[in-house]
């Protein structure tokens, strides 16, 4: 399995997790059928593709990348799409998450290089 296809699968998992979380916001406590259905489908795809990557990437590393990048992206979606505010402490925290993801990918022997 090539690194490109593994990271493509992991990025796919991240994107669908962000889409599912965005749909959850739009579902308004599961009271809207289309966003609720979209949420379920997106989470199913996200977990399937994440589980695929676990064949080759250690669970701690895959989950750190999935949750970290998902957190940063959903914060961006919340800001752009839902008009949610992010203060300086939030921006600093998100920057630290990005730094952690970079350290994992660039310097850790636990990930694929």
pLDDT by residue for the chain (113 residues), tens digit each? 788 888 899 999 999 999 999 999 999 999 999 999 999 999 999 999 999 999 988 898 899 999 999 999 999 999 999 999 999 999 999 999 999 999 988 888 876 65
Spatial CA neighbour of 53 closest among 98, 13, 105? 13
Q: Tens digits of per-residue pLDDT, 42-58?
A: 999 999 999 999 998 88
Q: Give the pLDDT of residue 110.
A: 75
Classify residue 112 by its DSSP letter.
-
State the number of CA atoms in the 13 A half-sphere of 111 facing the CB. Answer: 20
Per-residue pLDDT at 7: 87
Residue 113: predicted pLDDT: 53
- What pLDDT shows up at residue 112? 64
Cβ 18 vs Cβ 39: under 8 Å? no
User: What is the structure's pLDDT at 106?
Assistant: 87
What is each CA distance from 108 to 41, 68, 75, 77, in whole angstroms?
A: 33, 16, 26, 29
pLDDT at 57: 87
Model pLDDT, residue 109: 81
Q: Give the pLDDT confidence score for residue 108 in this predicted structure.
A: 83
């Amino acid at each position: 399995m090539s690194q490109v296809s593994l990271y493509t699968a992991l990025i796919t998992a991240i994107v669908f997790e962000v889409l599912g979380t965005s749909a959850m916001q739009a579902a308004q406590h599961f009271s809207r059928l289309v966003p609720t259905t979209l949420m379920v489908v997106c989470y199913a795809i996200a977990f399937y593709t994440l589980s695929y990557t676990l064949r080759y990437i250690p669970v701690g590393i895959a989950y750190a990348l999935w949750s970290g990048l998902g957190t940063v992206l959903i914060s961006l979606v919340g800001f752009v799409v839902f008009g949610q505010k992010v203060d300086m402490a939030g921006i600093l925290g998100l920057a630290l998450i990005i730094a952690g993801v970079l350290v994992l990918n660039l310097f850790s022997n636990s990930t694929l290089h």
